[in-house]
A and B are shown apart, each in its own frame.
Chain A
Amino acid sequence: MSNIILFLPIILILSGVLAIIIPKRIRKIYLLIIVVTIPLLLIKSNNILDRVVYDWFGDGSYNLVLEINYTKLLFFILLLVSIIIYSFANLSSNETEEPMLLISGGGMALAIFAGDFITFFIGWEIMSWSSYIPLINRNKDVKAARRYLVYGLFGAAMILTGILLAGLESSFEFTEFVVSKSSYFAIPFLITGFLLKSGIMPLHHWIPSVYNEASDTLSSFFSGALSKAGIYGFMLLFILYPHNLLGINTYISWLGAFTALFATFRAIMQVEIKKLLAWSSIAQLGYIVASLGLGTAEGVGAGLYHTVLHTTIKLLLFIVIAGVINRTGKTRFDELGGLIKQMPFSFIAVLIGIIALAGMPPLGGFASKWAIYSALLSSGKVFELIVIIAASTAAFLYNFKLIYGIFLGHPTQCIPENTKEIKWGYILGSIIPLIILIFTGLFPSYVYKFINPVLNESGFNQLLQNNYKILSSSMGEYNGFVVMTTFGITFAVILLLFSLIKSKSRNAHRLDIAYAGEIPNESYPLHFGYGLGREIRRIPFIGFWLSKSTGKFYAYIHSLMVQISSVVRVIFTGDITTFLYILIIGLAVFWVFVSGGSV
Chain B
Amino acid sequence: MIDTVQLFLNVILAPIVAFIIAGFYYGFYRRFTARIHRRWGPPIYQNFVDNIKLYSKEEAVSHGLMFHLGPVIMAAGSVTSLLFIPFFNNSVWFSGLSSYGNLILITYLMVVGPLGNALAIGVSGNPFGLMGVVRGLTRLIGLEIGMYISIALLMIVSGTTSLTELISIQVNSGTWNMVSHPLIFIISLFSFVGFMGASPFDVVGAPTEVYSGPVAEYGSKYLGILMSQRLMFSFAKLLLWVNLFMGGAANIVELLLKTFSLFLFEIVIGSVYPRFKVEQAVDFLWKIPAILGLLAGVLYYLNIGGV
Chain A residues near B (Cβ < 8 Å): 338, 340-341, 351, 355, 358-361, 366, 369-370, 373-374, 377, 380, 382-383, 385-386, 389-390, 393-394, 396-397, 400, 403-404, 407-410, 475-479, 482-483, 486-487, 490-491, 494-495, 498, 501-508, 510, 512-516, 526-528, 532-533, 535-536, 538-542
Do A404 and B161 contact each other (CB < 8 Å), given the known contacts A478-B105, A513-B217, A539-B283? no
Do A535 and B145 contact each other (CB < 8 Å), given the known contacts A374-B161, A377-B152, A408-B123? no
- Kindly state the separation between the CA atoms of A495 and B72 in the bound complex, as whole angstroms: 6
Chain A residues closer than 8 Å to B252, beta-carbon distance: none
Do A385 and B148 contact each other (CB < 8 Å), given the known contacts A404-B118, A514-B217, A539-B279? yes
**From residue 259 to 307 of chain B, which have CB atoms closer than 8 A to chain A?**
278-279, 282-283, 286, 290, 293-294, 297
Q: Is B144 an interface residue (CB 8 A)?
A: yes
B79 touches A528 (CB 8 A): no
A498 touches B286 (CB 8 A): no
- Kindly state the separation between the CA atoms of A377 and B68 in the bound complex, as whole angstroms: 40
Chain B residues closer than 8 Å to A358, beta-carbon distance: 111
- Kindly state the separation between the CA atoms of A341 and B125 in the bound complex, as whole angstroms: 13
Distance (whole angstroms) from the CB of B124 to the closest CB of chain A:
6
A370 touches B105 (CB 8 A): yes
B221 touches A501 (CB 8 A): yes
Chain B residues near A (Cβ < 8 Å): 55-64, 66, 68-69, 71-73, 75-77, 79-80, 83, 97, 100-102, 104-105, 108-109, 111-112, 114-115, 118-119, 122-131, 133-134, 137-138, 140-141, 144-145, 148-149, 152-153, 155-156, 159-162, 165, 211, 216-217, 220-221, 224-225, 278-279, 282-283, 286, 290, 293-294, 297
The chain A residue sitting closest to B289, CB to CB, is A386
A498 touches B72 (CB 8 A): yes
Distance (whole angstroms) from the CB of A261 to the closest CB of chain B:
11
Chain A residues closer than 8 Å to B83, beta-carbon distance: 486, 490
Do A390 and B144 contact each other (CB < 8 Å), given the known contacts A482-B100, A504-B59, A532-B134? yes
A477 touches B102 (CB 8 A): yes
Do A408 and B162 contact each other (CB < 8 Å), given the known contacts A380-B156, A508-B61? no
A491 touches B283 (CB 8 A): no
- Kindly state the separation between the CA atoms of A338 and B125 in the bound complex, as whole angstroms: 8
A360 touches B115 (CB 8 A): yes
Question: Which residue of B137, B278, B297 contacts A382 across the interface (Cβ within 8 Å)?
Answer: B297
Chain A residues closer than 8 Å to B111, beta-carbon distance: 358, 360, 396
Distance (whole angstroms) from the CB of B243 to the closest CB of chain A:
15
What are 25 contact pairs spanning A and B, CB under 8 A? A340-B123, A355-B115, A370-B102, A373-B104, A382-B152, A382-B153, A383-B297, A389-B148, A396-B137, A408-B66, A408-B123, A475-B160, A476-B162, A477-B102, A477-B162, A487-B80, A490-B79, A491-B72, A494-B76, A498-B71, A507-B63, A510-B63, A513-B217, A515-B126, A542-B282
A514 touches B128 (CB 8 A): yes
Distance (whole angstroms) from the CB of B130 to the closest CB of chain A:
5
Chain B residues closer than 8 Å to A526, beta-carbon distance: 125, 127
The chain B residue sitting closest to A525, CB to CB, is B127
Kindly list the 10 A-B residue pairs having the minimum CB-CB distance in the complex, ordered from nearest.
Answer: A408-B122, A476-B161, A505-B62, A491-B76, A538-B279, A393-B144, A479-B100, A482-B100, A389-B148, A513-B126
Do A535 and B130 contact each other (CB < 8 Å), given the known contacts A386-B293, A479-B101? no
- Kindly state the separation between the CA atoms of A526 and B131 in the bound complex, as whole angstroms: 11
Do A361 and B62 contact each other (CB < 8 Å), given the known contacts A385-B152, A532-B130? no
B130 touches A486 (CB 8 A): no
- Kindly state the separation between the CA atoms of A337 and B79 in the bound complex, as whole angstroms: 32
Do A404 and B122 contact each other (CB < 8 Å), given the known contacts A506-B62, A507-B62? yes
- Kindly state the separation between the CA atoms of A417 and B156 in the bound complex, as whole angstroms: 55
Chain A residues closer than 8 Å to B162, beta-carbon distance: 476-477
A390 touches B105 (CB 8 A): no
Do A504 and B72 contact each other (CB < 8 Å), given the known contacts A514-B216, A516-B211? no
Chain B residues closer than 8 Å to A501, beta-carbon distance: 55, 221, 224
Chain A residues closer than 8 Å to B77, beta-carbon distance: 487
Q: Other CB < 8 Å A-B pairs besides A358-B111, A407-B122, A528-B127, 6 of them? A: A385-B148, A386-B145, A403-B119, A482-B97, A526-B125, A539-B278
A361 touches B122 (CB 8 A): no
B76 touches A487 (CB 8 A): yes
Chain B residues closer than 8 Å to A536, beta-carbon distance: 138, 141, 279
Chain A residues closer than 8 Å to B126, beta-carbon distance: 513-515
Distance (whole angstroms) from the CB of A556 to the closest CB of chain B:
27
A503 touches B55 (CB 8 A): yes
B55 touches A397 (CB 8 A): no
A475 touches B155 (CB 8 A): yes
Distance (whole angstroms) from the CB of A540 to the closest CB of chain B:
5
Do A507 and B64 contact each other (CB < 8 Å), given the known contacts A477-B102, A478-B102, A479-B101? yes
- Kindly state the separation between the CA atoms of A476 and B156 in the bound complex, as whole angstroms: 12
Do A528 and B131 contact each other (CB < 8 Å), given the known contacts A370-B105, A483-B101, A503-B55? yes
Q: Tell which of B124, B153, B225 has the most Cβ of chain A within 10 Å.
A: B124
- Kindly state the separation between the CA atoms of A478 and B160 in the bound complex, as whole angstroms: 12
Chain B residues closer than 8 Å to A494, beta-carbon distance: 72, 75-76, 79, 225
A476 touches B102 (CB 8 A): yes
A486 touches B97 (CB 8 A): yes
The chain A residue sitting closest to B142, CB to CB, is A539
Distance (whole angstroms) from the CB of A546 to the closest CB of chain B:
13
Chain B residues closer than 8 Å to A506, beta-carbon distance: 59-62
B122 touches A377 (CB 8 A): no
Chain B residues closer than 8 Å to A491, beta-carbon distance: 72-73, 76
Chain B residues closer than 8 Å to A504, beta-carbon distance: 58-60
Chain A residues closer than 8 Å to B69, beta-carbon distance: 495
A503 touches B57 (CB 8 A): yes
Question: Which residue of B108, B152, B279, B294 contacts A540 across the interface (Cβ within 8 Å)?
Answer: B279
Chain B residues closer than 8 Å to A475, beta-carbon distance: 155, 159-161
B138 touches A397 (CB 8 A): yes
- Kindly state the separation between the CA atoms of A296 and B175 in the bound complex, as whole angstroms: 34
The chain A residue sitting closest to B145, CB to CB, is A390
Do A396 and B115 contact each other (CB < 8 Å), given the known contacts A361-B105, A383-B297, A498-B72? yes
A386 touches B149 (CB 8 A): yes
The chain A residue sitting closest to B211, CB to CB, is A516
Chain A residues closer than 8 Å to B131, beta-carbon distance: 528
Chain B residues closer than 8 Å to A482, beta-carbon distance: 97, 100-101
Distance (whole angstroms) from the CB of A416 to the closest CB of chain B:
12
Question: Which residue of A361, A510, A528 contacts B108 across the interface (Cβ within 8 Å)?
Answer: A361
A503 touches B58 (CB 8 A): yes
Chain B residues closer than 8 Å to A366, beta-carbon distance: 105, 108
Do A360 and B108 contact each other (CB < 8 Å), given the known contacts A400-B137, A408-B125? yes
- Kindly state the separation between the CA atoms of A514 and B160 in the bound complex, as whole angstroms: 47
- Kindly state the separation between the CA atoms of A190 and B69 in the bound complex, as whole angstroms: 51
A508 touches B62 (CB 8 A): yes
- Kindly state the separation between the CA atoms of A355 and B115 in the bound complex, as whole angstroms: 9
B152 touches A386 (CB 8 A): yes
Do A389 and B73 contact each other (CB < 8 Å), given the known contacts A478-B105, A503-B60? no
Chain A residues closer than 8 Å to B68, beta-carbon distance: 505
- Kindly state the separation between the CA atoms of A516 and B131 in the bound complex, as whole angstroms: 14
Q: Tell which of A385, A490, A526 has the most Cβ of chain B within 10 Å.
A: A490
The chain B residue sitting closest to A396, CB to CB, is B137
Do A340 and B66 contact each other (CB < 8 Å), given the known contacts A403-B122, A506-B59? yes
- Kindly state the separation between the CA atoms of A2 and B50 in the bound complex, as whole angstroms: 71
Distance (whole angstroms) from the CB of B63 to the closest CB of chain A:
6
Q: Tell which of B128, B156, B225 has the most Cβ of chain A within 10 Å.
A: B156
A409 touches B125 (CB 8 A): yes
Chain A residues closer than 8 Å to B144, beta-carbon distance: 389-390, 393
- Kindly state the separation between the CA atoms of A161 and B171 in the bound complex, as whole angstroms: 59
- Kindly state the separation between the CA atoms of A477 and B104 in the bound complex, as whole angstroms: 10
